[in-house]
């Protein structure tokens, strides 16, 4: 658990550390698969862009100028629209980026954290990491994938998102009423 370009959020970081330790154990028991090493980083929207670009380039294994520009554009769009993102790391771990400014309450943070940790467990399943690497390389223009592979990735991504949304109720075990406050804040 760390921060990136986020000064003055000491109490938020302490709360996040406590919730993360509990959420990792909870999700590891509840979701099929194994929990990899997870690095959680609290940041801002701008910090998310920096970290997503670095993670995508590391995952793709290639960093020419065009790939870097595509990664920056894609990361800016993603950071504007999302609250958090889980990204597999080349070493087998997972990087979970969370925009602290988009989480006004510990309950909202707990729901997002559980959602992203479910994705972390999903990355440990057979073939998922390789599929994500292939799609990232295709998105950055490093390597082409077939239309069939792209459609399969989108279909499986929808299933994985459904599973993650379905497990958000686990956040209520961390903070009672967390899902109710998260839906009210959204």
Give the pTM.
0.93
Tokens of 8: 């003055």
Domain spans of the chain? 2-175
Residue with tokens 């599973």: 163
- Residue 91: how many CB atoms within 10 A of its CB? 9
What does DSSP say about strands 84-88 and 2-4: parallel, antiparallel, or unpaired? unpaired
Q: Using one digit for the tens of pLDDT, what is the confidence trace for 109-162?
A: 999 999 999 999 999 999 999 999 999 999 998 899 999 999 999 999 999 999
Q: Give me Rg for the CA atoms of the chain.
A: 16
Cα 176 to Cα 10: distance, rounded to the nearest angstrom = 23
Beta bridge partners of 40: 96
pLDDT in tens, 16-56: 999 999 999 999 999 999 999 999 999 999 999 999 999 99
Tokens 């069939």, located at residue: 148
Enclosing H/E stretch for 153: helix 147-166
């Amino acid at each position: 658990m760390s921060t990136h370009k986020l000064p003055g959020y000491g109490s938020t970081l302490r709360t996040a550390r406590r919730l993360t330790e509990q959420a990792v154990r909870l999700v590891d028991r509840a979701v099929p698969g194994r929990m990899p090493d997870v690095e959680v980083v609290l940041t801002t929207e701008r910090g998310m862009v920096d970290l997503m670009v670095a993670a995508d380039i590391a995952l793709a294994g290639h960093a020419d100028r065009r790939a870097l520009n595509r990664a920056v554009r894609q990361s800016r769009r993603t950071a504007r629209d999302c609250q958090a993102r889980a990204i597999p790391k080349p070493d087998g771990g997972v990087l979970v980026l969370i925009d602290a400014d988009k989480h006004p309450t510990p309950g909202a943070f707990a729901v997002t954290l559980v959602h992203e940790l479910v994705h972390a467990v999903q990355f440990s399943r057979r073939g998922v990491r390789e599929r994500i690497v292939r799609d990232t390389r295709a998105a950055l223009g490093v390597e082409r994938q077939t239309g069939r592979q792209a459609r399969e990735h989108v279909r499986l991504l929808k299933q994985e998102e459904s599973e993650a949304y379905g497990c958000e109720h686990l956040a209520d075990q961390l903070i009672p009423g967390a899902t109710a406050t998260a839906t009210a804040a959204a």
